[in-house]
């Protein structure tokens, strides 16, 4: 109770409130503009969070991403261009609804279901995280090693361009993480004599490069840099008749929230995958599955709830174990580390009030989605008419100043440029970027826990299976690793009969 009161006191701080407000507006704007993703919004936000206290910075990231994911539905519905990847699953459906004159219903139902999904995920986070943390207090380096393995493996496995591409991306991230002084012995690795690289590759400039600069490069090379969007129709009355609609499809809201949260909690998978899967489950269990794709709200409601629920769920492993579930929480974990706060079960004892304050921010941000989302939909035609060249110039300016501001060195602007080009080249070659971030964040965790464990166990690898929880986690990891192997073997054995991958429909 005392903690709760203390938490209330923390979020009543004007700095926190103003931060949440500004971050929300920023998130809505970025989310509503196609080509700018929630991850990019977070990356651009990080240099700002550097000057805030830990609570404000986490609050800013939470509010910004929740708003961005929801605002991403707007251009999808109006122009058939998803604002963020998380909306891509049901973009066609909402656009068909708009064509049928149901645009208000499409936006209204995705907004309201987003709020419900987000709230559900936040409540699960509030309830599950502290009790999981109590279990995690007994974890040693053996368990943490396996947790890091699970996070990394899932990131590679769910990669949409194939697991080989995902694995490659992961190894690149892990390699980047090894640059600098080795934590155990202090010997410099891959620094090539550079003093600036001794401390490792700076995280923030690398991220800004990978998510913002690469996006600018992409739009320049694909000729979309000057593209103007068609003027969308004005949508009003989005809340009209929404409550009966939501209650008619309450099973979808519930299923979307539950599946979304679970997928979010799984390391490596976030809101966009949750949306794809729940859109598919909505269709599978629907009584009117033939209506899907013709402008039917059912899938939109389920997937709309799921992507916001996934966003909240991803914070469970991030806060409890320090093992992030997606690119956004990976960035958040990085921010907390920079502030000298190590996410993990101890945090629930030492910083209980702050954590409860973070949970409350989740609830507030999701409730604030209703008025903010309404405003964003009203302002949609204005937001979408922002000229692209000017927008890109301003983004570029913030990239440069943001990369510089973290360590006040020009070297970091170079890091940003190099990573921007690297990420652009990799995505042109079909290699995803998100696993790199997880590799960078989880790499040190993986290595430290491995080396610590081996020092304890005197180099005996079987020690990783000797503690009960570690053993279970270890077997789970081995099973995960066997999925691609088994599927490869099956593919070879059924080579003649046109082998197909396992399909989740």
Partner 1 sequence: MSKAPFLAGAILSLLGAGVIAEAMRLPTIPGQTYGPGFFPVLIGAGLLVFGAIYALSVRRPMQAVILLEGEGTAPDEAEETVPERPFYGALAWLVTGLVATIFLWETAGFVLLMSVVLTVFMILLGVRFWHAGLVSIASTIIVYALFIKILMVPLPAGLLAPLGL
| Binders in 272-331 for partner 1, by CB under 8 A | 273, 276-277, 279-280, 283
Determine which residue in the list 11, 392, 441, 473 makes contact with partner 1, applying CB under 8 A: 392
**Minimum Å distance from CB 119 to partner 1?**
25
Query: Which of residues 323 and 365 has its CB atom nearest to partner 1 in the complex?
Result: 323
The whole-angstrom separation of Cα 284 and Cα 254 is 15
The whole-angstrom separation of Cα 190 and Cα 174 is 13
Q: Residue 190, Cβ neighbours under 10 Å: how many?
A: 13
Tell me if 220 contacts partner 1 by CB under 8 A: yes
Q: Which of 22, 85, 83, 84 is nearest to 56 (CA)?
A: 22
Determine which residue in the list 22, 451, 463, 469 makes contact with partner 1, applying CB under 8 A: 451
- 369-394 residues labelled b (16+ CB within 10 A) or e (exposed): beebbeebbeebeebbeeebeeebee
**Minimum Å distance from CB 135 to partner 1?**
28
Tell which positions 468-497 bind partner 1, by CB under 8 A: 483-484, 487
Determine which residue in the list 226, 231, 248, 378 makes contact with partner 1, applying CB under 8 A: 226
The whole-angstrom separation of Cα 62 and Cα 482 is 35
State both tokens at 501: 């991958």
Query: Which of residues 79 and 470 has its CB atom nearest to partner 1 in the complex?
Result: 79
Tell which positions 110-169 bind partner 1, by CB under 8 A: 157-165, 167-168
Angle at 419 between CA 414 and CA 420, to 5 degrees: 95
Tell which positions 33-92 bind partner 1, by CB under 8 A: 34, 51, 79-82, 88-89, 91-92
Query: Which of residues 220 and 243 has its CB atom nearest to partner 1 in the complex?
Result: 220
CB 38 within 8 A of CB 26: no
The whole-angstrom separation of Cα 202 and Cα 285 is 47
State both tokens at 405: 């501001």
Determine which residue in the list 375, 401, 475, 489 makes contact with partner 1, applying CB under 8 A: 401
Q: Per CB under 8 A, which region of 6-14, 321-329, 428-436, 464-472 contacts partner 1?
A: 428-436
Tell me how far the alpha carbon of residue 150 is from its chain's centroid: 17
Tell me if 405 contacts partner 1 by CB under 8 A: yes
Tell which positions 229-248 bind partner 1, by CB under 8 A: 229-230
**Minimum Å distance from CB 80 to partner 1?**
5
The whole-angstrom separation of Cα 50 and Cα 204 is 10
**Minimum Å distance from CB 355 to partner 1?**
27
Tell me if 462 contacts partner 1 by CB under 8 A: no
Query: Which of residues 140 and 178 has its CB atom nearest to partner 1 in the complex?
Result: 178
The whole-angstrom separation of Cα 500 and Cα 487 is 9
């Amino acid at each position: 109770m005392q903690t709760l009161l203390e938490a209330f006191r923390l979020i009543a701080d004007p700095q926190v409130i103003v931060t949440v407000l500004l971050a929300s507006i920023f998130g809505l704007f970025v989310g509503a503009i196609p080509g700018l993703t929630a991850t990019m919004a977070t990356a651009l936000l990080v240099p700002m969070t550097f000057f805030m206290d830990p609570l404000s910075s986490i609050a800013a990231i939470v509010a910004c991403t929740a708003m961005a994911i929801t605002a991403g539905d707007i251009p999808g519905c109006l122009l058939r261009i998803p604002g963020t990847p998380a909306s891509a699953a049901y973009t066609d459906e909402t656009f068909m609804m708009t064509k049928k004159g149901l645009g208000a219903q499409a936006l209204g139902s995705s907004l309201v279901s987003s709020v419900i999904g987000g709230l559900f995920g936040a409540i699960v986070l509030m309830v599950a995280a502290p009790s999981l943390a109590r279990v995690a207090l007994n974890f040693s380096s053996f368990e943490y090693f396996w947790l890091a393995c699970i996070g990394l493996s899932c990131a590679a496995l769910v990669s949409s361009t194939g697991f080989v591409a995902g694995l490659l991306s992961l190894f690149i991230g892990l390699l980047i993480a090894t640059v600098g002084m080795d934590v155990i012995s202090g010997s410099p690795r891959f620094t090539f004599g550079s003093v600036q690289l001794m401390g490792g590759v700076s995280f923030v400039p690398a991220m800004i490069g990978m998510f913002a600069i690469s996006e600018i490069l992409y739009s320049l090379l694909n000729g979309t840099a000057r593209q103007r969007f068609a003027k969308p129709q004005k949508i009003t009355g989005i809340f009209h008749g929404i409550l009966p609609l939501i209650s008619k499809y309450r099973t979808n809201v519930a299923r979307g929230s539950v599946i979304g949260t679970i997928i979010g909690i799984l390391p490596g998978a976030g809101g966009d995958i949750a949306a794809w899967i729940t859109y598919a489950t909505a269709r599978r269990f629907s009584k009117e599955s033939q209506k899907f794709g013709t402008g039917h709200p059912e899938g939109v409601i389920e997937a709309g709830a799921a992507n916001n629920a996934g966003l909240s769920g991803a914070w469970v492993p991030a806060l409890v174990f320090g093992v992030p579930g997606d690119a956004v929480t990976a960035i958040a974990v990085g921010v907390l580390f920079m502030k000298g706060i190590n996410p993990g079960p101890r945090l629930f004892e030492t910083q209980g009030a702050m954590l409860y304050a973070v949970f409350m921010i989740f609830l507030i941000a999701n409730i604030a989605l209703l008025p903010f989302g309404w405003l964003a939909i009203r302002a949609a035609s204005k937001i979408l008419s922002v000229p692209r060249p000017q927008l890109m110039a301003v983004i570029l300016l913030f990239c440069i100043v943001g990369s510089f501001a973290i360590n006040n060195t020009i070297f970091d602007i170079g890091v940003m440029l190099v990573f921007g080009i690297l990420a652009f080249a990799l995505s042109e070659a079909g290699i995803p970027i998100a696993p790199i971030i997880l590799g960078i964040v989880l790499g040190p965790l993986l290595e430290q826990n491995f080396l610590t464990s081996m020092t304890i166990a005197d180099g005996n690898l079987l020690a990783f299976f000797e503690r009960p929880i570690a053993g279970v986690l270890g077997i789970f990891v081995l099973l995960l690793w066997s999925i691609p192997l088994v599927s490869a073997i099956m593919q070879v054995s059924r080579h003649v009969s046109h082998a197909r991958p396992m399909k989740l429909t």
